[in-house]
Structure 1
Amino acid sequence: MSDPTLFYTSHVFCCTNRRPDGHKRGSCAERGSEPLRNYMKARAKELGLEPKIRINSAGCLERCELGPTMVIYPEGIWYTYQTKEDIDEILQTHVVGGGRVERLMLQPNETEPRSATPV
């Protein structure tokens, strides 16, 4: 028997977990994941990507130090992001184009936060 047709072509889980202030691991919500997830949902709707994709809030994805984080299925690709421009690039390159935003991709063995990118 073959796998069923995918219900969504992409299913995006954005961590919006909030830990108590001052927690040693921090949290994605503390780093701005909630408004960025809301932006991603609105932008996907503007681009006409719904109902083919689904963008959900997720509880802790256990990569707190790297956040905010998201994972996109069915590929299982993890990203870190900080700006609306990052979200736009992930939507256009990964979700629409099927490519990868390598500068934002998280590797399985990555555990330390990245340095801020100079502007």
Structure 2
Amino acid sequence: MSIGYDIHVFVCENERPEDHPRGSCSRRGGRQIRRWFKEAMSHEGLTEKTRVNKSGCLAHCESGPIVVIYPQGVWYRPETQEDVVEIVQSHLLRGRVVEHLLLENKDEETP
């Protein structure tokens, strides 16, 4: 029996004051994003070898909420429950990166 997890999903839930210029992932929905990951992962039977945890600041506050998946080191910026389900079904189940939800691709869309 191995210990640990094959895949680890970190969701930023860092909190800052409401008026902080960089904002915070927590105020932008980080907690709800983590809940959605837990629900979707449980629904897909992924909880034995895949873990989701909250994290502190991941240094992309202006773009939050931020998610990083290890060991691949893939950074996402999900905004909706549908985004989270897509990441779980595509990335976690099939190993396919969800290009349009990547942090760098979402940042390019921001006006």
> Do these two structures clear the TM 0.5 threshold for a shared fold by scoring above it?
yes
Residue 96 of structure 1 aligns with which residue?
Answer: 93
Q: Give the TM-score of the pair, scaled to structure 2.
A: 0.89
Residue 31 of structure 1 aligns with which residue?
Answer: 28
Residue 65 of structure 1 aligns with which residue?
Answer: 62
Relative to total residues, which structure has the larger helix share, 1 or 2? 2
Rounded to whole Å, the distance in 2 between the matches of 1:101 and 1:83 is 14
**Structure-2 change in CA distance of 1:113 and 1:14 (3 Å):** farther
Gaps of 5+ in 1: none
Give the CA deviation at 1:7.
Answer: 3.0
SS in 1 for 2:68: strand
Q: Which runs of 4+ in 1 moved over 6 A?
A: none
- Give the paired residue count: 109
Q: Give the TM-score of the pair, scaled to structure 1.
A: 0.84
For 1:64-100, what per-residue CA distance to the aligned partner results, in whole angstroms no more than 9, with x for missing partners?
A: 0111101000000000010000000000111101011
Rounded to whole Å, the distance in 1 between the matches of 2:109 and 2:58 is 17
Residue 12 of structure 1 aligns with which residue?
Answer: 9
Aligned AA (1:115): T
Gaps of 5+ in 2: none
**Residue 80 of structure 1 pairs with residue 77 of structure 2:** yes
Rounded to whole Å, the distance in 1 between the matches of 2:108 and 2:34 is 20
Over alpha carbons, which structure has the higher Rg?
1
**Structure-2 change in CA distance of 1:44 and 1:29 (3 Å):** same
1:39/1:84 contact within 8 Å kept:
yes
Give the CA deviation at 1:46.
Answer: 1.6
1:66/1:114 contact within 8 Å kept:
no
Q: Could you say what the CA RMSD is over the residues aligned between the two structures, in angstroms?
A: 1.9
